[in-house]
Amino acid sequence: MARYDKKMKTWTADIMLNNKRYRKKGFLEKKYAEIWESQKRYDEEKISVGLMERSSIKDVQALINLYLENLEGKSENYIKREKQRSVHWLRFFQENHIFEIKNLSKNTALKYKHWRAKQVTQYGDLVKPRTLNDELSFIKKVFEWAVKVGELEENLFSYVPKIAVEEKEVSYLSEEQIKLLLDRLEKYNKPLKDIVVIFLGTGMRLGELISLKVSNIHLEKKTINLDLKNTKKRYSRIIPLQSKAFDILSSYCKEKEQDDIVFTTKSGKKIDDANLGRSFSKHCKKVGIQYSFHDLRRTYISHMIMAGIEPIRVMGIVGHKNFSAMKPYLHLSPKYLGKELDVLPF
């Protein structure tokens, strides 16, 4: 009988069949738990008369959970994003009464795409195409993994129809905007200013910076050495330090042990990326601009390109392994582009 979990605020299906208890947690509504119970009764009846065999994994949610449990070696941010994507798929499966793998088809991804495209985010907007494409890639990875480890024989999502995404010009902060923002942070939030300066001087990803340890910083060589487990693409790389970034990191590394995280909260805990992002956005709005933390990485790359640094060199610093990843950054500001055009002989 379905019962409500007050702590988790979800429903649990709970039934006895042939002296065996079957339970499943995490249903968002009571009706979904009851539907699962009905389907379990029906399946047990088919098994009892020999019309169906038991398999190792036939439950969609169990398969997704098993995939998430086997993400060892991935970064914390990667695992967090995968778990967020799983939530939307599990809700889709529940709302469409899809609990068993046998109920899936090659059209399931298409149905999900139409269903998810109508969802409204917590900010009141429709889901962005890039976000939806990431979620479609997620379910493909789940089944690829299941086939690889022998849990399933076929990947029903080997071809996932994605949404065409219009390439937009990469947004980056101008020198004037950088000065406005840093002047405000100097006055109202000095620790955040230090983090922003590090971003602007290294082009690191947010997850890389908040996980940065003293042992990753080589002050004598004026470099940051990122190891495999702290990077998105699982590649180690060396980042040269500019003078301002070097001075800030030198001061933060004092009186810290090699295994300590460089940037922490006032209480010494690891910084939450969501809280950091909200604080950054608030200060941006105060000076009349609207940017995200990732735009600081784009700013670093854009200004490096405009300064004449070879794209292949920039790729090595920021951790891009494919040149296609650099393509959106190879734009030039109108001011810089105008200078180049002035040298043409016609």
**CATH number of the domain that residue 196 is part of:** 1.10.443.10
SS3 for 239? strand
Statement: residue 234 has pLDDT above 50: yes
What whole-number distance in Å separates Cα of residue 311 and Cα of residue 210? 26
Cut 0.75: pTM above it: no
Indicate the pLDDT class of residue 57, thresholds 50, 70 and 90: low
In a domain, 70, yes or no: no
User: Whole domain around residue 283: which residue ranges?
Assistant: 175-341
In a domain, 66, yes or no: no
Q: How far is CA 166 from the centre of its chain?
A: 20
In a domain, 123, yes or no: yes
Tens of pLDDT, residues 16-56? 887 778 777 778 888 888 887 887 788 778 777 776 555 55
In a domain, 234, yes or no: yes
Considering the domain architecture, whether residues 214 and 264 belong to the same structural domain is answered as yes
Tens of pLDDT, residues 151-191? 777 788 888 778 877 766 778 899 999 999 999 999 999 99
Considering the domain architecture, whether residues 219 and 289 belong to the same structural domain is answered as yes
In a domain, 346, yes or no: no
Considering the domain architecture, whether residues 179 and 301 belong to the same structural domain is answered as yes
Mean pLDDT of 90-101: 89
Query: In a 10 Å sphere around its CB, with 0-12 CB exposed, 13-18 middle and 19+ buried, how is residue 139 labelled?
Result: buried
Query: H-helix or E-strand containing 202?
Result: helix 190-202
Considering the domain architecture, whether residues 111 and 36 belong to the same structural domain is answered as no
**CATH number of the domain that residue 150 is part of:** 1.10.150.130
SS3 for 323? helix
Tens of pLDDT, residues 260-278? 999 999 888 989 888 898 9
What whole-number distance in Å separates Cα of residue 199 and Cα of residue 209? 8
Place of tokens 């889901």: 127
Strands annotated E in the chain = 3-5, 10-17, 20-27, 217-218, 223-226, 237-240
Residue 344 is predicted with a pLDDT of: 46
Considering the domain architecture, whether residues 194 and 268 belong to the same structural domain is answered as yes
Q: Which of 125, 60, 139 is nearest to 98 (CA)?
A: 60
What whole-number distance in Å separates Cα of residue 64 and Cα of residue 57? 10
Domain end, chosen from 166, 198, 232, is at: 166
Q: Would you say 293 and 206 are in contact if contact means Cβ atoms under 8 Å apart?
A: yes
14 forms beta bridges with 23
Considering the domain architecture, whether residues 83 and 19 belong to the same structural domain is answered as no
Considering the domain architecture, whether residues 109 and 209 belong to the same structural domain is answered as no
Considering the domain architecture, whether residues 49 and 93 belong to the same structural domain is answered as no
Q: Which of 90-99, 145-154, 241-250, 251-260 has the lowest mean pLDDT?
A: 145-154
What whole-number distance in Å separates Cα of residue 116 and Cα of residue 144? 22
Q: 154 or 198, which is more confident? A: 198
In a domain, 62, yes or no: no
Question: What is the number of domains present in the chain?
Answer: 3
Considering the domain architecture, whether residues 50 and 86 belong to the same structural domain is answered as no
Instruction: For residue 130, give Cα distances in angstroms to 78, 144, 167, 233, 328.
Output: 16, 21, 11, 19, 15
Considering the domain architecture, whether residues 94 and 183 belong to the same structural domain is answered as no
What whole-number distance in Å separates Cα of residue 101 and Cα of residue 67? 14
Considering the domain architecture, whether residues 122 and 24 belong to the same structural domain is answered as no
Instruction: For residue 98, give Cα distances in angstroms to 19, 39, 135, 143, 230.
Output: 26, 10, 17, 16, 37
223 forms beta bridges with 218, 240
Considering the domain architecture, whether residues 99 and 199 belong to the same structural domain is answered as no
